Chains A and B, each alone.
Chain A
């Protein structure tokens, strides 16, 4: 019996994340949406989602005492962070006039420039970055297994991560310029896009995560 905890800190819709994980879970894997520090600590794997404004996400995480729990899990077991869950792993976000985050990865989260244009068409780019964009993998990783280079995933965000150490960038996406859309280090993998909304490719990534032992 293996368990995956989906960290519930009151931010956004965890239904889709849990349903997508259940869809691809190997026999004997149980998916648990939970805000219990004990359950999260006891799980074999942790999924750390996040939707909404950074001030609310970070505030709720702290209010429920889950910030330390996430930090602790990030040191020891396979952890997959999604969207704002990824952004929270960095030091600092420029959202809501500046919010200190968990600092598991050195770097900042910045707002997309409001005056970006597509390099080829010259078309003005909208913010939020919303829709299906290509994910360019930087190196092989167990979570990219059976996912073709430059596959499209579903994005919806206005802020993006800028990790200090370029070696943690697992993939980039072009929107005005190339930005880091996935980071990876040891047992941690984090994505800006939403695998639970990215059809077959997203389900494949969740499937890969549920079979990953946390080593690269």
Chain B
């Protein structure tokens, strides 16, 4: 008996619709967040993360309605990220039925925001999302830096130190994305995952690069991740969440089956 590792499908939502080529074979409306969240819940997803990629503030209201609609039908934890910048943004998402919010750029521009958020709502619902890129040369001691704006803007912040700093400020969980691996399908950067996970007391969600079920296993075994996040392998029905969980369990990882 012990705590299970988690599988978290991630959905990109733009103006209320799931985007990035969702291709379920037998789903009525492939872009409907409620339908897709229900599908993942039925497959045994341990949580679901929504990433709001909407650019305009007007369309952000739509995200609140998406969360409300999903929370009324799906009874597993929901995390919402993307554009969370104020205490009021967080309150709206939590009131709509989100369990956690993920803070990314706003944590870099104003770290005190994380502290305020954790004090107000509790560390358990504050996830800090970290986008990290390897900056060390091959052969050197590995080192990663924080990037913002989709990986374009360097901050000079060391990823491991930044993660420790965010935990001190009240982050209850770290969502760690390797910008080098994101979208590549060649597997997580498990040196990065392990370096961060071993350095902090709170759970780490590994993200970026999943192409096979072995990648998920390695995220836990080599990367010491507490949860693994993936998008495309589930969206394109390459694997179901259920298949991924069985595979991980067969490889000796504690899962909720």
Chain A residues at the B interface, C-beta cutoff of 8 Å: 12-13, 15-16, 19-20, 23, 51-53, 114, 118-121, 124-134, 136, 150, 152, 154-158, 173-175, 194, 196-199, 202-203
- Find the residue from A23, A198, A199 having the highest chain B CB count within 10 A: A199
Query: Would B122 and A13 count as touching, CB distance under 8 A?
Result: no
- For B46, the closest partner residue in chain A by CB is A132
Q: Which residues of A contact B77 (CB under 8 A)?
A: 154, 156, 194, 197
Query: Would A128 and B99 count as touching, CB distance under 8 A?
Result: no
Categorize the interface residue count of chain B: 35 or more
- For B74, the closest partner residue in chain A by CB is A199
The docked-state distance in angstroms from the alpha carbon of A153 to that of B243 is 21
Query: Would A15 and B71 count as touching, CB distance under 8 A?
Result: yes
Q: Which residues of B contact A13 (CB under 8 A)?
A: 94-95, 97-99
Query: Would B72 and A19 count as touching, CB distance under 8 A?
Result: yes
**Given A126-B226, A203-B75; 18 other pairs, CB 8 A cutoff:** A12-B122, A15-B68, A19-B97, A114-B201, A121-B2, A126-B201, A127-B202, A128-B202, A130-B172, A130-B173, A133-B3, A150-B1, A154-B77, A156-B99, A156-B124, A158-B123, A199-B76, A202-B75
The docked-state distance in angstroms from the alpha carbon of A53 to that of B172 is 13
Across the interface, A16 reaches (CB within 8 A) one of B2, B75, B124, B198, namely B75
The docked-state distance in angstroms from the alpha carbon of A118 to that of B3 is 9
The docked-state distance in angstroms from the alpha carbon of A118 to that of B99 is 27
The docked-state distance in angstroms from the alpha carbon of A157 to that of B202 is 11
Across the interface, A154 reaches (CB within 8 A) one of B1, B41, B76, B125, namely B76
Q: Which residues of B contact A124 (CB under 8 A)?
A: 198
- For B68, the closest partner residue in chain A by CB is A15
Q: Which residues of A contact B75 (CB under 8 A)?
A: 16, 19-20, 23, 196-199, 202-203
Query: Would A15 and B122 count as touching, CB distance under 8 A?
Result: no
Q: Which residues of B contact A118 (CB under 8 A)?
A: 2
Q: Which residues of B contact A157 (CB under 8 A)?
A: 124
Q: Which residues of B contact A131 (CB under 8 A)?
A: 3-6, 46, 203, 226-227
B39 on the interface (CB 8 Å rule)? Answer: no
B 214-235 to A, binary, CB cutoff 8 A, 1 in contact else 0:
0000000000001100000000
Query: Would A12 and B1 count as touching, CB distance under 8 A?
Result: no
Q: Which residues of A contact B227 (CB under 8 A)?
A: 131
Query: Would A16 and B71 count as touching, CB distance under 8 A?
Result: yes
The docked-state distance in angstroms from the alpha carbon of A126 to that of B125 is 15
Across the A-B interface, the 4 shortest Cβ-Cβ residue pairs: A52-B122, A132-B256, A15-B97, A132-B4
